[in-house]
Structure 1
Amino acid sequence: MQVAVGEKIVTSQNYLATHVGAKVLEDGGNAFDATIAVSAVLSVVLPHTSGLGGDGFLFALTPEGIIAFNSSGWSPKNLKKEKIGERDPNSIVVPGLVDAWNFIYNEYATMDLSRLLSPAIALSTNGFYLGKSLYKSILSSSGLGDTWKKTFGDKTFGSKLKLPRLGNALKIISRDPRDFYQGKLAEEIVIGLRSNGSTMEISDFSEFHGEKVKMIRTTYRDFNVYEFPPNSQGITTLEILKMSEIKELWKRPYTDYERVNDYIKILSIAYADRDNYVADPRFYQIPDLLDEIRLKNALKGKAKTNILSDGDTTFFAISDGENLVGFIQSLFYPFGSGIVVNDIVFNNRGFGFTTGHNQPEGRKRPMHTLSILYAEREGEELLIGCAGGDLRPQIHSQVFQYYTDYGMEIDEAVHSPRLIMTGDKIMVEKRLEIPFPKLDFMVPDVGIVQAIKRKGSYTIGVADPRSEGVALPV
């Protein structure tokens, strides 16, 4: 089911994860309980997208207000690389996902952690059957190293994969999540990472914690729109929307040549700002990129964007009738660094370091592609998130503009064809007819979106038909 309507909803990129989340709600758990359970299952069955070796960001709308938690990891304190390669062992940062679970569990959960992690433990230990997205990613990742090949290299679509050491790690985490960072498990992981070339030390793990953050806000027409602040690229989405509002793009048809031309220019400006300014705010004071006068002046000039690429990530959203939760987790590239320790695939998030304000430094968080869009107007709330890497701000903005500017319901907005700028080319899905010169018709890299809309007494959950996603009501 790609669209579900009800009071309580779970929508994710994988049918097993959605089922597990719905069962938690059915058994009396809240959206935070279900978030931990869904996140853990995704960490097992979609190991190319996310997992214990990666990061996580939480957004929640509660009766008390907005909660936002950034659990993106920092680099090892002894990192001294000036340039980090795509699958370089130095690209591994301390994974933040488990600390996000710890935060959610201690602050908002109502069920025992062992109950919430038991489905993921069972899937790891007893095995699960490979879906198509995992199989396709294995096929395209065959050049990764020995630890990856030993774990995934011989698997085919429909074959069974067991990850017993991951299951054991989850059992340890179910007793105390901080053991992932400062217990025997943490020591084993650090030894394994160092044996594969990382400079990671146990103190890099033990001293790491995610942090509560304040979402950044702007307006788009009659909506208040929120995104994660830097080190997240969420501010890039808000720049795109503000410049679209300044140019009044909604007054023209979506496929109008002039509108597309203006939108491409807006993307170039926003991404140039991202590349120049978005970095870890603990190392650099970021200017006000949303100042309207500044944006109007920027629209008069030109901007050149670096090459942008897709990435493997997974987003899910949950409503329990009271709380609305969005959660996004990632390794960055498919299978991250390609380094596997204890059946845990480790990220390559450090490849997000560039130069200038975002240059590699010890205990620094790289510019991060993860973000979640939340929008509200009187009596109406929207959560939009996606897999998409660098492309996420344009995917978020397009789905939101389909909804706000062109009268689509949220499921239509998610399902509708998208346009993607990668810096050196423009890609569209073949079913999107745009009279634009030099279009490069490449279908796959347009993101995988999950979304939730809440209005009055009902909620709509949407799973992108471009994936194995499922939305279920409870």
Structure 2
Amino acid sequence: MRVLLFCSVLSLILPAAAADRIAGRDFATRSEVIAPHAMAATSHPLATQIALDVMKAGGSAVDAAIAANAALGLMEPTGNGIGGDLFAIVWDPKTKKLHGYNGSGRSPKSLTLEYFQQQGITDIPPHGPLPVSVPGTVDGWFALHGRFGKLPMPQVLAPTIRYARQGHPVHQTIAYYWGLSVPRLSKWPGFKEQFTIDGRAPRVGELWKNPHLADTLQKIAAGGRDAFYKGDIARTIDAYFKANGGFLSYEDLASHQGEWVEPVSTNYRGYDVWELPPNGQGIAALQMLNVLEGYDFSRIPFGSAEHLHLLVEAKKLAFADRARWYADPAFQPAPVARLVSKPYAAERRKLIARDKVLREVQPGTPKELQEGDTIYLTTADKDGMMVSLIQSNYRGMGSGMAPPGLGFILQDRGEMFVLQEGHPNSFEPGKRPFQTIIPAFITKDGKPFASFGVMGGAMQPQGHVQIVMNLVDFGMNLQEAGDAPRLQHDGSTEPTGQNTMMSDGGVVQLESGFPYETVRGLMSLGHHVEWALGPYGGYQAIRRDPDTGVYYGASESRKDGQAAGY
């Protein structure tokens, strides 16, 4: 990692814009991928190839997304797996409509807030049995497949089962994060036995096999979702948690059900940007865009202090509402329509000053109501179906809890609950925690324009806004929009209640590539600026030309991924 750090520091000294060596365009590490029939963009080249193979065999974009997600659970367990949750947005060319799926799981019904209080626990720990909630991914696969799939599920899961038995070489970024996880998680039963090689993480290029996961996927392929939630897999999980001080039970798994939800949108300069409603944080991106729409970015250069200042201030406003309103709507309904409305954005925009920073921000009061790691992938098929899918175990490799013989780790998403009565995100039995993972989609004039996502905790809505602005305001192509340097603002009040209220304006973290003039300009406005290596998310995207139907693909240059088509 010393080489990576050196390169990052060196880039602060050299001119800001990295240019494509052929086209001369700023920020392009490579060309967009262009294909006439189908496209896939994932964070692992082998998963991308699996997705393409599925579509070449007659599968839909949903089949391809499920196949790629299954592969990533094997190949990139540092970010996802069938022990985690899933969200998706699907463009259906038949109905010409977007469909959203919330595949997040709920807290164990037998675990209560009183238990934590009796144990003297004030924050849910990041690892072990207590942060584990019901994994929603497999249910999500079958819900999506039932509505939009073409190939039988055994055929969809077959490539991953084959790689799990025969092995695949581990990629560089994944090997690095795997190495970080092993010391933290090896204390938990089943992890060391199933996710290390003689107690260590696999090395770059080393073949990794997971026969236990192959067996689990084989059972799911043959028996459907109930094989996971009501069969031997569920019974194994139940027994494992009973033996290790946990609460996740067979009943929790058997009663799980995800839900179809209506995506929410706002129009940004003629483009409709779509997100899913809470319990996720997607509408924060819409709130930010609504505020930023009030400024003329044709007169504000990309990467200038004014551009980044306005972006950060809009984020502070949206995240104040995020901390107050975003939670499981079954327990704490949010005034979504008002939060994403233009009049509300106009009210909030008045709080922004162009010559100084907001040190603290209170949430709005809408009138009608008195180290997370993730994978993102997107697929598109010959019929025009496009899928935007995000999936995660939450914190790195999740809780570390790996039931024997199953080959996967349970997520630790329950860490996002607050152990405080009356808080919107307070822990309650059978409740869905606040979720950071959000897929996104853009339409224009009622037609699909782009499917995209930026993974990475609180960076995600900030990243979504930066991608939209890069495409719409700054005229970048799909690859340039992802390669351009990003910022992350840190320090807003969190919906998890683990931080105090923001009182100092937080911290602006800048990726290498912004000029010193911008840094000085931000500091003169009162921003606290830091250089940070790594927290800027991972991006994949597919754009469809509405006239020709040709697909354009882009993949994150900061990770191991690939966009490819045919």
How far does residue 249 in structure 1 lie from its aligned partner after superposition? Answer: 4.4
How far does residue 311 in structure 1 lie from its aligned partner after superposition? Answer: 2.0
| Paired letter, 2:458 | D
Which residue in the other structure is 1:428 paired with? 510
Question: Contact conserved, 1:2 with 1:465, CA < 8 A, in 2?
Answer: no
Partners of 1:414 and 1:442 in 2: how far apart? Answer: 18
1:128-167 mapped onto 2 (5 Å cutoff) = 128-141=168-181, 142-144=183-185, 145-146=187-188, 147-150=190-193, 151-152=195-196, 153-154=199-200, 155-167=202-214
How far does residue 225 in structure 1 lie from its aligned partner after superposition? Answer: 1.4
| Paired letter, 2:164 | S
| 1:106-140 deviation digits (Å, cap 9, x = unpaired) | 22211121111111111222222211122111222
Task: Identify which of 20, 26, 39 aligns with 2:50.
Answer: 20
Change (3 A) 1:304 1:104: same
Q: CA RMSD in A?
A: 1.8
Question: Contact conserved, 2:128 with 2:401, CA < 8 A, in 1?
Answer: no
Task: Identify which of 86, 111, 118 aligns with 2:158.
Answer: 118
Question: Contact conserved, 2:273 with 2:441, CA < 8 A, in 1?
Answer: yes
Secondary structure of 2:218's match? helix
Task: State yes or no: 1:56 paired with 2:86.
Answer: yes
| Paired letter, 1:120 | T
Which residue in the other structure is 1:331 paired with? 393
Which residue in the other structure is 2:466 paired with? 398
| Paired letter, 2:78 | H
How far does residue 6 in structure 1 lie from its aligned partner after superposition? Answer: 1.2
Which residue in the other structure is 1:444 paired with? 534
Question: Contact conserved, 1:269 with 1:304, CA < 8 A, in 2?
Answer: no
Secondary structure of 1:344's match? coil
Question: Contact conserved, 2:72 with 2:80, CA < 8 A, in 1?
Answer: yes
Which residue in the other structure is 2:35 paired with? 6
Which residue in the other structure is 1:453 paired with? 543
Question: Contact conserved, 1:125 with 1:162, CA < 8 A, in 2?
Answer: yes
Secondary structure of 1:117's match? helix
How far does residue 166 in structure 1 lie from its aligned partner after superposition? Answer: 1.1
1:401-416 mapped onto 2 (5 Å cutoff) = 401-416=469-484
Question: Contact conserved, 2:112 with 2:428, CA < 8 A, in 1?
Answer: yes
Task: State yes or no: 1:31 paired with 2:74.
Answer: no
How far does residue 271 in structure 1 lie from its aligned partner after superposition? Answer: 0.9
- 5+ long unaligned stretches in structure 2: 1-29, 117-122, 352-357, 363-370, 492-505
How far does residue 250 in structure 1 lie from its aligned partner after superposition? Answer: 4.8
Change (3 A) 1:221 1:303: farther
Question: Contact conserved, 1:313 with 1:330, CA < 8 A, in 2?
Answer: yes
How far does residue 320 in structure 1 lie from its aligned partner after superposition? Answer: 0.5
Which residue in the other structure is 1:374 paired with? 441
Task: Identify which of 283, 288, 299 aligns with 1:240.
Answer: 288
| Paired letter, 2:192 | K
Q: TM-score, normalising length from structure 2?
A: 0.80
Change (3 A) 1:112 1:217: same
| 1:276-305 deviation digits (Å, cap 9, x = unpaired) | 110000011212212333333333345647
Change (3 A) 1:303 1:383: farther
Partners of 1:45 and 1:16 in 2: how far apart? Answer: 9
Which residue in the other structure is 1:383 paired with? 451
Secondary structure of 1:79's match? coil
Question: Contact conserved, 2:463 with 2:486, CA < 8 A, in 1?
Answer: yes
- Tell me which moved more, 337-346 or 193-202: 193-202
| Paired letter, 1:80 | T
Task: Identify which of 372, 375, 378 aligns with 1:317.
Answer: 378
Task: State yes or no: 1:216 paired with 2:259.
Answer: no
Q: TM-score, normalising length from structure 1?
A: 0.95
Secondary structure of 2:558's match? coil
Which residue in the other structure is 1:361 paired with? 428
How far does residue 326 in structure 1 lie from its aligned partner after superposition? Answer: 1.2
How far does residue 53 in structure 1 lie from its aligned partner after superposition? Answer: 0.2
Which residue in the other structure is 2:74 paired with? 44
| 1:185-222 deviation digits (Å, cap 9, x = unpaired) | 11012212333332111110001011000001111111
Change (3 A) 1:172 1:2: farther
| Paired letter, 2:511 | E
Secondary structure of 1:452's match? strand
Question: Contact conserved, 1:223 with 1:375, CA < 8 A, in 2?
Answer: yes
How far does residue 380 in structure 1 lie from its aligned partner after superposition? Answer: 5.4
Question: Contact conserved, 1:100 with 1:210, CA < 8 A, in 2?
Answer: yes
Partners of 1:195 and 1:166 in 2: how far apart? Answer: 21
Change (3 A) 1:225 1:366: same
Partners of 2:450 and 2:281 in 1: how far apart? Answer: 19
Partners of 2:457 and 2:393 in 1: how far apart? Answer: 10
How far does residue 246 in structure 1 lie from its aligned partner after superposition? Answer: 2.2
Question: Contact conserved, 1:272 with 1:303, CA < 8 A, in 2?
Answer: no
Q: How many residues align?
A: 471
Change (3 A) 1:466 1:374: same
Partners of 1:86 and 1:249 in 2: how far apart? Answer: 41
How far does residue 312 in structure 1 lie from its aligned partner after superposition? Answer: 0.9
Which residue in the other structure is 2:410 paired with? 346
Partners of 1:303 and 1:182 in 2: how far apart? Answer: 50
Partners of 2:184 and 2:479 in 1: how far apart? Answer: 37
| Paired letter, 1:110 | K
Partners of 1:199 and 1:444 in 2: how far apart? Answer: 34
Partners of 1:25 and 1:291 in 2: how far apart? Answer: 39
- Tell me which moved more, 146-155 or 358-367: 146-155
| Paired letter, 1:352 | M
Partners of 2:559 and 2:256 in 1: how far apart? Answer: 33
Task: Identify which of 130, 136, 160 aligns with 1:96.
Answer: 136
Partners of 2:31 and 2:242 in 1: how far apart? Answer: 43
Which residue in the other structure is 2:321 paired with? 273
Question: Contact conserved, 1:14 with 1:468, CA < 8 A, in 2?
Answer: yes
Partners of 2:48 and 2:180 in 1: how far apart? Answer: 26
| Paired letter, 2:106 | W
| Paired letter, 1:107 | R
Partners of 1:77 and 1:357 in 2: how far apart? Answer: 18
